[in-house]
């Protein structure tokens, strides 16, 4: 807390106590429902909240938070789009280590792409209802844990199920990513950040 904030707080307290002591209290106080000290507390709370709403946010901190949001979203989008095609390179090794059939290898690719497409709209609606930042964080956690499960898979079925869950996490991140950037950057400043995400 800065010195100016402390002085402002003291001024608010002094004004609230002065109004309570001088009898400038509400009708509820005069009818006995609220004591002068209670009126002072109410006045203090109302004035403090009004002053807090008027205090502008530090522009440097807001700008730094915007860029961290952009970096996190771009990294997440890069990873979820990379997982659609990069697994094709590993298919021969997957076939050898897990003794997978051709159908199993098809599902390694399709399970991720299918769930990513199927849950995209649903994830967007859930993000609008419960908050995009929170839903994005959940999607990132689901995607990361499913990626770990993919790496630890010992059978083709386990790998395919993990890829399907990975697609759900990717859909959650993908659906909320552009909305997060649009909320962080407004007006003319939003064009370049939105373009940097790729899709």
What is the pLDDT tens value at each position of the chain, 199 positions in all? Answer: 444 444 444 454 455 445 544 554 444 444 444 444 444 444 444 454 444 444 445 555 555 677 788 888 888 888 888 888 889 899 999 999 999 999 999 999 999 999 999 999 999 999 999 998 999 999 999 999 999 999 999 999 999 999 999 999 999 999 998 888 877 776 656 556 556 555 5
Instruction: Specify the fold of 59-196.
Output: Growth Hormone; Chain: A; (1.20.1250)
Measured CA to CA, the distance from residue 169 to residue 80 in angstroms comes to 9
- pTM for the whole structure: 0.64
Q: Kindly state the DSSP code that residue 197 receives in the 8-state scheme.
A: T
- In the prediction, which pLDDT does 127 show? 92
Could you state, in order of their start, the residue ranges of all structural domains in the chain? Answer: 3-54, 59-196
Residue 69 exposure: Cα atoms within 13 Å on the Cβ side: 23
Measured CA to CA, the distance from residue 175 to residue 130 in angstroms comes to 13
Measured CA to CA, the distance from residue 109 to residue 125 in angstroms comes to 26
pLDDT in tens, 18-45: 554 455 444 444 444 444 444 444 444 4
- In the prediction, which pLDDT does 198 show? 59
């Amino acid at each position: 807390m800065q010195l100016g904030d402390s002085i402002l707080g003291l001024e608010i307290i002094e004004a609230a106590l002065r109004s309570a002591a001088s009898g400038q209290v509400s009708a509820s106080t005069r009818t006995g429902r609220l004591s002068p000290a209670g009126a002072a507390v109410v006045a203090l709370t109302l004035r403090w909240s009004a002053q807090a709403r008027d205090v502008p946010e530090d522009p440097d901190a807001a700008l730094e938070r915007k860029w961290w949001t952009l970096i996190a979203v771009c990294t997440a989008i890069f990873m979820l789009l990379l997982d659609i095609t990069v697994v094709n390179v590993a298919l021969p090794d997957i076939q050898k280590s897990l003794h997978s059939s051709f159908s199993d290898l098809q599902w390694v690719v399709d399970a991720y792409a299918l769930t990513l497409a199927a849950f995209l709209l649903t994830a967007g609606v859930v993000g609008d209802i419960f908050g995009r930042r929170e839903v994005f964080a959940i999607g990132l956690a689901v995607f990361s844990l499913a990626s770990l499960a993919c790496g630890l898979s010992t059978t083709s079925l386990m790998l395919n199920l993990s890829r399907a869950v990975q697609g759900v996490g990717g859909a959650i991140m993908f659906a909320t990513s552009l909305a997060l950037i649009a909320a962080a950057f407004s007006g003319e400043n939003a064009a370049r950040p939105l373009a940097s995400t790729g899709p």
